[in-house]
Amino acid sequence: MSVRTVLNDIAFNAKALGKFVPAVLESGIVDPATGVGPVVKLPAVLGRYWFTLAREVEQAAITCPDRLALIDDDGALTYRQFQNDSKLIARHLLSLGLDEIRLGVMARNGRGILLPMAAKGYAGATIFLLNVGSSPEQLAGVIEENDINVLVIDDEFIDRAPEGPHTIIAHQSRPTERLTLTDVVSRPEKLAGVRLPVFPKHGAIVLMSSGTTGIPKGVVRPEPKLPFVLAGVLDKIPLKADMRVQMTASMFHTWGWSLTNICFAARHTVVTQRVFDPENCFVQIEKYRLHAMISSPIFLKQMLQIEDNEKYDTSSLEIIASSGNALTPAMVEAVTERFGPIMGNIYGSTELTLAASASAEQISAEPTLAGDVSVGTRLKILDKNGDEVPTGAVGRIYLKNSTSLTGYTNPDIPVKRVGELVEMGDLGYLDEHHRLHVLGRIDDMIIVGGENVYPGSVMDVLEPMPGVADLHAAGVDDPETFERIAVWIVRSDDADGRALTEDAVREWVLEKLADHSVPRDVHFVDELPRNVTGKVVPRLLPGV
């Protein structure tokens, strides 16, 4: 890295810090009367734990120990209890006598994933957040490829786990003779002689890409030393201190992981459920008078499809933060009608976390907007040769920020870079206000008769069609035009759904888009094959 690059980074991040401080003050995370908060107060804690979950738990246990940190399927934990339990788990990890702790966690939302995440910071470890949808072959491959020597796993997945690593059961649903997290935290006397390091060695956070076949790619990212990405979120998602927040986004993925850390930085009470239940989301909002919901469009859609959902009192809800799937005009309209204009959007990826963010006001005015390029992020639109394109021109999205991946755990997997910027894998453009618009994945765009067609645009126009409950669009091979659009539709359970035909779908699209966007194939299916984060798995679609 050149001296010029280092100096540019310092100057760039200084500007970001200048925006971070007012964003934190306005959010209420820092007390505006005293100026005391997570950055200014207790610098020793920051020096020891950086911006890890351990730091947030440690400081919260000092400043608000009796506040509820977590309400999950297993009960509730105060911040003091959270600190105690995560430190005991850290001591257990150290007691194993390993040269290096390489901790894998395969657990659904709740303490089963959160306590090990905090323990990682206390013990000094590298942590691998594993996809709960991994097959036995994928899990074994990830463990072998990454030398994972401790595995914390929900008991529902234990049959997928290979022999080898020290294994601890996270969530226990049935009797077991294996060691559980409950065993570890309920026997402190066994760990009394184990000391935690004063300055832990902070290993990387490794999140797995959403691979459906083969060994998932391990995306390596550093623990941030300064919270520039936090500033980018708070700039558009007005989270305040001491809120009660529902977390339905999966914590083992970037969206759930990053917002979970922000919630604990703001000393929130985080409310979770291990298995997504759309009606239970309404129950939790009403029961706990929740202020915010961290979710994804597919989960929001399932909530809105519940009959009589208006019977639940959601008047306490001030914020909906969405990410993970693209928003559509129909979805924004439906969410706004039910909850009010309170939904903001975050655009990012597993490799590159936050890229852009849009406020509720921006989303209401322009539903498909990805948003303003986030504080602390360099973002450019480049052509296939790596040259920057003019404002308004479509190209490939490249960026860099403080939590961008440093590489993959498998060094043979290349990272697509131009200079220090990393490719997102999406196509988009920047408008005259330097706001980002995303058109879809590079691989999704097809060319029909010389015209670029984006499957997302077809989904946008079909989603509000009467009779369509769920849908997916993609390119398929065509003997005449090489490629054409195909759609897979789940009919709604009503008269409109029963009346829906292939020709009606094509006519609907033709009324709103050019003829090259009209789907050649219309498949009616009972349901779409989705993974645990709600994304469609294309290889499981009929006719692919």
CATH number at residue 530: 3.30.300.30
Helix crossing, 278-288 with 297-304: angle to 10°?
Answer: 90
Asked if the structure places residue 495 within a domain, the reply is yes
Q: Say if 338 falls within a structural domain.
A: no
Answer with the one of 224, 253, 274 that is the final residue of a domain.
Answer: 224
Q: Is 408 left (phi over 0), alpha (psi -120 to 50) or beta?
A: beta
- Judge whether 518 lies within some domain: yes
Give dist(CA 486, CA 502) in Å, integer.
11
Q: Is 490 part of a structural domain of the chain?
A: yes
Q: What is the DSSP letter of 192?
A: T
- The sign of the CA dihedral 137, 257, 56, 221 is positive
Range of the domain at 175: 97-224
In a domain? residue 111? yes
Total domain count for the chain?
Answer: 2
Q: Cite the beta strand spans of 385-450 per DSSP E.
A: 395-400, 407-408, 417-418, 421-430, 435-441, 446-448
Best CA proximity match to 92, nearest among 242, 201, 219, 193? 193
Averages of pLDDT over runs of 10 residues in the chain (544 residues) are: 42 47 47 47 68 88 94 97 98 97 97 97 95 90 95 96 96 94 96 92 84 76 64 84 95 91 92 96 98 95 94 98 88 95 92 87 93 88 95 94 82 89 92 93 83 89 94 88 90 95 96 92 94 84 84
SS3 call for 346: strand
Q: What local confidence, expressed as pLDDT, does residue 23 receive?
A: 44
Task: In whole angstroms, give the CA distance from residue 47 to residue 240.
Answer: 24
Mark which of 224, 251, 281 sits at the end of a domain. 224
Tokens of 119: 């323990």
Residue 214 lies in a domain: yes
Asked which of 176, 201, 224 is the last residue of a domain, the reply is 224
CATH number of the CATH domain containing 167: 3.40.50.980
Is residue 18 included in any domain, yes or no?
no
Q: Answer whether residue 434 is part of any domain.
A: no
Give the model's pLDDT for residue 479.
Answer: 80
Strands 343-349 and 126-129: unpaired
Per-residue model confidence (pLDDT) at position 20: 45
